[in-house]
Amino acid sequence: MLTWVADGVLAVLLTVLEVAALVAFWFAEGLKQWAAGGKQVVGCRIRLWLVLTAGPAGLAGVSYGAVRAGLPATGVTQALVAAALAGVLALGVGTECSRWAARAFRGTSAGRRGLRDRAL
């Protein structure tokens, strides 16, 4: 009975700490962008990708260790939070790739139009 209570408390405590750390990170990044006058801050995407890749990897390790230690609820919650962070990472990478593709497509089509206009 005591291990169930400890497992539940640890699961809730770790999840709250992880969410609080992620909110603090996004708040700090928002302050940097606000201080820059709304412009893009150098290195913000790299820092976000680092947080969103290191986070799930660390949580997977914690999840594995918790299950091996006999704390299944903690292991499951850590795995779920890791999956959520990996999903946010996948969405962010997909968005960046689509922006890159749109810029590349716009650049080539604009270049073709410019060549065509010069030929006329």
Each residue of 52-110: pLDDT tens digit?
Answer: 888 888 888 888 998 999 999 999 999 998 888 888 888 888 888 888 888 888 876 55
User: What pLDDT, on a 0 to 100 scale, did the predictor assign at position 68?
Assistant: 92
User: What pLDDT, on a 0 to 100 scale, did the predictor assign at position 116?
Assistant: 54
User: What pLDDT, on a 0 to 100 scale, did the predictor assign at position 119?
Assistant: 55
Percent of the chain with pLDDT over 70: 88
Q: What CA–CA distance (Å, rounded) separates 6 from 16?
A: 15
User: What pLDDT, on a 0 to 100 scale, did the predictor assign at position 28?
Assistant: 92
User: What pLDDT, on a 0 to 100 scale, did the predictor assign at position 108?
Assistant: 64
Question: Is the Cβ–Cβ distance between 55 and 22 less than 8 Å?
Answer: yes
User: What pLDDT, on a 0 to 100 scale, did the predictor assign at position 88?
Assistant: 86
Q: How far is CA 37 from CA 40, 42, 96, in A?
A: 9, 13, 22
Q: What CA–CA distance (Å, rounded) separates 94 from 33?
A: 22
User: What pLDDT, on a 0 to 100 scale, did the predictor assign at position 111?
Assistant: 54
Q: What pTM value is reported for the model? A: 0.71
